[in-house]
Structure 1
Amino acid sequence: MASNIDPESGIEAEGADIEAEGGQQGGVQSVDRALAVLEILARDGHAGVSEIAEEMHIHKSTASRLLGSLVSREMVHQNSERGKYQLGFGILRLASSIPGRLSLVREARPVLESLAEQYKETVNLAVLRSNYAVNVDQAMGPSTLATYDWVGSLTPLHATSSGKVLLAALTAEERDRILKETGTPARTPRTITNRGKLESQLLDVSRDGYAVAREEFEIGLNSMAVPVYNHVGTVIGAVSISGPAFRFDPEQTPGLAEALKQAGMQVSANMGFTRR
């Protein structure tokens, strides 16, 4: 089959797309090209017909037809001042329908199980509810000593690694409100009850991307947690891994902090988050 690309210019010959689009293969090609246009606009913010045509190695008339079709569907909008194109509100309508269909527990489950299998410890998924961290799912490592089912348990924000992650993501005003309502009672002799010391640790959480609790909620239990983000970059949960203090020191476990961060980012990506 002869190529439709001009060997000298590297651009598709004008009119070649019209012939191709007459069949099923041409229809698939048109869809693929339309998606490529959307990806270019998403990446660059805006682009003109010539820029799109050059990058896609197609004729300007083809690029113009693709853009015209996308404009008619409100997927693309033309800036009247500069004549360039950008993503339209149609894309927003499509995207806004996704979050409501995503289940945090369902999207996180394979990641939790993989992490528990790799490190042989208990992995939990927690969210913020009524001033507490609520565990909504749990995966057990194959050789873990823990048998307690944490799902549904309310745990204090100031004394757990998940809670610290959730606290660190709040505004200062919201954090102050919650801590005034709940206080910072000692769960063990190691619980951080001093507000200033807690705030300092939360700054470390924001900087380092993870939180650690060493026997602060329960004697003999250590844990580490990382945030989970939604499609707009808001922290909506925390993934934690915990184990017996006699064998589990999260910050001394080789590769754990990075593996946990990657797990958090994977769940976040499943929820539509894109790292900027």
Structure 2
Amino acid sequence: MTSESKTATGSQTVARALALLELLGRDGELGVRELGRQLGVAPSIAQRLINTLSEAGFVEKSLGSSKWKIGYKAFQIGSAFLTATDLNAATAPELHLLAEKHQVNSFLGVLRGKDVVYLAAVQSGGPISITNAPGSRTYLHSTALGKALLLDHADDDVHELLGTSPLKQLTKKTKRSTSALLKDLKEGRRLGYVICDEENLDNVFAVGAPVRDASGEIIAALSGAVPRQRLSARAIDELCGMVKNSANRASRRLGSLR
């Protein structure tokens, strides 16, 4: 085998291992056959990848099951993204303030490709249960985080990101056209925040606002979510103000003057 062939083979193995980790991070616990099927490889190859990753602590077998899940080492490395950046220090106090003082579930997300990636989620004492684990992905068009991350994008960029097909419908209130989303973004630029009124989950009202760095660029978004049922107009105004103020304080910690 030539050195070029070895390099290609090695790169393929690394790519498959990374894809396997992404599958486990996205779907939770999976068996070897299912991993092989989703990767498009034989179960024997999937098993060899699992064995190598398991020895290094990146995956581990679930108790009482033949399925595999993300291991401590993958979590450790993933967590380094936040601990090594000022973003964590700037936003963590605000996430906990919203959740603990105001009983608002709070989230931090960034734009990666065409998705929102959750970096943090803090559970309040309220009735909404958080299921968005750090590292999981969600939609741009139906979430407060997604809309907030798009606020500085030109209309043409938004069209390019979302495509021309009808957007995925998550609830009966999901806005499925890019033109409807652009109206929300226009209003959001004026107000400094965006809302998601049961567009991603039934009975969940969320507000999102951008987090900016010293250059004024949006590098993340912060959102707060509460039950929609019996939510008064005054409570909505208060929530919008709280989330916007939290995002602005986080931005100022990062050096933003906007």
- What's the offset of the Cα at 1:193? 0.8
Aligned to 1:105: 88
Partners of 2:165 and 2:115 in 1: how far apart? 9
Q: Deviations over 1:222-251 (max 9, x none)?
A: 111111101100111111001222254687
1:224 equivalenced with 2:211 (yes/no): no
Asked if structure 2 preserves the Cα contact closer than 8 Å seen for 1:160 and 1:213, the reply is yes
- What's the offset of the Cα at 1:256? 2.2
Q: Please, which of 182, 188, 201 is the counterpart of residue 184 of structure 2?
A: 201
Partners of 1:223 and 1:117 in 2: how far apart? 17
Runs of 4+ residues deviating >4 angstroms: 247-251
From the superposition, tell whether residues 241 and 181 of structure 1 become closer, same or farther in structure 2 (CA, over 3 Å): same
1:135 equivalenced with 2:118 (yes/no): yes
After TM superposition, the structure 1 = structure 2 runs for residues 16-55 of structure 1, keeping only pairs within 5 Å, are none
Q: Deviations over 1:71-90 (max 9, x none)?
A: xxxxxxxxxxxxxxxxxxxx
Partners of 1:193 and 1:146 in 2: how far apart? 26
After TM superposition, the structure 1 = structure 2 runs for residues 224-263 of structure 1, keeping only pairs within 5 Å, are 224-248=207-231, 252-253=235-236, 255-263=238-246
After TM superposition, the structure 1 = structure 2 runs for residues 260-271 of structure 1, keeping only pairs within 5 Å, are 260-271=243-254
Alignment gaps of 5+ in structure 2? 1-83
Aligned to 1:94: none
Partners of 1:222 and 1:134 in 2: how far apart? 19
- What's the offset of the Cα at 1:272? 1.5
- What's the offset of the Cα at 1:138? 1.2
After TM superposition, the structure 1 = structure 2 runs for residues 80-159 of structure 1, keeping only pairs within 5 Å, are 102-159=85-142
Partners of 2:99 and 2:124 in 1: how far apart? 4
- What's the offset of the Cα at 1:203? 0.4
- What's the offset of the Cα at 1:267? 0.7
Number of residue pairs matched? 175
From the superposition, tell whether residues 185 and 250 of structure 1 become closer, same or farther in structure 2 (CA, over 3 Å): farther
Deviates more, 1:115-124 or 1:175-184: 175-184
- What's the offset of the Cα at 1:102? 3.8
Counterpart AA for 1:163: G
- What's the offset of the Cα at 1:106? 3.0
The two structures have a TM-score, normalised by structure 2, of: 0.62
Asked if structure 2 preserves the Cα contact closer than 8 Å seen for 1:229 and 1:273, the reply is yes
Q: Deviations over 1:36-63 (max 9, x none)?
A: xxxxxxxxxxxxxxxxxxxxxxxxxxxx
Counterpart AA for 1:133: V
Asked if structure 1 preserves the Cα contact closer than 8 Å seen for 2:148 and 2:208, the reply is yes
Deviates more, 1:167-176 or 1:184-193: 167-176
Q: Secondary structure at the match of 2:121?
A: strand
Counterpart AA for 1:240: S
Q: Secondary structure at the match of 2:224?
A: strand
Partners of 1:262 and 1:162 in 2: how far apart? 15
Identity of matched residues, %: 25
Partners of 2:137 and 2:95 in 1: how far apart? 19
Asked if structure 1 preserves the Cα contact closer than 8 Å seen for 2:206 and 2:224, the reply is yes
From the superposition, tell whether residues 254 and 194 of structure 1 become closer, same or farther in structure 2 (CA, over 3 Å): closer
